[in-house]
Chains A and B, each alone.
Chain A
Amino acid sequence: EVQLVESGGGLVQPGGSLRLSCAASGFTFSSYAMHWVRQAPGKGLEYVSAISSNGGSTYYANSVKGRFTISRDNSKNTLYLQMGSLRAEDMAVYYCARDYDPNWGVYGYFDLWGRGTLVTVSS
C-alpha cells in the first residue's frame, strides 16, 4: 500500500526540541521531493519545509528558518524534521506530503499525504 506514516510528535516545553519522522512505503521514496505542512488547532494549512529527492535542495518558511531542519534517508525511506527552539505558535498537526516531482518548486504539488502527528508546545 502506498502510504506515509508520521511519528515523533508529543508534548514539549517552550524552547525544547523534537524530531519528527515520516516513513514511506509502497513507492520509490528516492524519486520524489518531500514536504512538511502543518495545521494549528482549528486553523488552516501552513507550508513549512521541502527537500528534493536526493536531499540536495531544501526550503524553509520564514516562520521556521534557523530553527527547523529537514532531512531524509533514502536507504530507510524516511523523511525527518528536526525542530528546535520550539514556540507556542509551533503547536500543530504536522503532515508529511509527497511531491509529484523529484524537485520541489513551481511544477510540484502534494499528491500523497500522511495522517499527521501532533506537536504540543506547553510548559
Chain B
Amino acid sequence: QSVLTQPPSASGTPGQRVTISCSGSSSNIGSNYVYWYQQLPGTAPKLLIYRNNQRPSGVPDRFSGSKSGTSASLAISGLRSEDEADYYCAAWDDSLSGHYVFGTGTKVTVL
C-alpha cells in the first residue's frame, strides 16, 4: 500500500493555478528527493519533476515542485485542458532496507 498520501482529486478552470500535496514521513520525503509523474488518460506515466523541483527537458515551466519537511507539492499554473491527468508523487523510503514508494495519486480535472 502507498505510504505517500495525496488528495484523490483536484480541479480548476483554464488559466487557474492548481496545487497538489503529497504527505510522507521522515523516512521518505523527510530525507530524500521527491519526484512527480504525470499519467495522461490511457497512457504510461511520464517523469514531470525530479529531485524536488527540477524539470526534465520538454516539461513546461507551468509545472513546479517544492518540498518542505515531510511534505511536497506540485503546482500547475496557467492550467490547460491537456493537463487533465493523474499525478503521482514518489520517493525513496529508507525503511526496510530501502525501497521506492509512490503516492496514492491525484486526478486533476480541468473544468
Q: Which residues of A contact B (CB under 8 A)?
A: 35, 37, 44-47, 50, 59, 61, 95, 97, 100, 105-116
Contacts and interface: CB of A to CB of B under 8 A. Distances in A.
Contacts of A97: 45
Contacts of B33: 107, 109
Interface residues of B, number: 26
B10 interface: no
Contact of A45 (B46, B88, B99): B88
B110 interface: no
Interface of B: 2, 32-33, 35, 37, 43-47, 50-51, 56, 86, 88, 90, 92, 94, 98-105
Contacts, number: 59
Given A47-B99, A47-B100, A100-B50, A109 B105 contact: no
B98 A105 contact: yes
A61 B33 CA distance: 20
Contacts of B103: 44
A9 to B, nearest CB: 14
Residue among A44, A108, A111, A116 facing the most chain B CB atoms (10 A cut-off):
A44
A109 B47 contact: yes
A95 B41 CA distance: 15
A46 B28 CA distance: 16
Given A44-B88, A45-B88, A100-B50, A111 B102 contact: no
B8 to A, nearest CB: 10
- Among B35, B45, B98, B101, the one with the most A-chain Cβ atoms within 10 Å of its Cβ is B45
A46 B99 CA distance: 11
Contacts of A109: 33, 35, 47, 50-51, 90
Interface pairs A-B: 9 shortest CB-CB: A44-B105, A113-B44, A45-B102, A47-B100, A106-B92, A109-B35, A111-B47, A115-B44, A109-B50
17 contacts: A44-B88, A44-B102, A44-B104, A45-B102, A50-B100, A97-B45, A105-B98, A106-B94, A107-B33, A109-B33, A109-B47, A109-B50, A110-B35, A110-B47, A113-B45, A114-B44, A116-B44
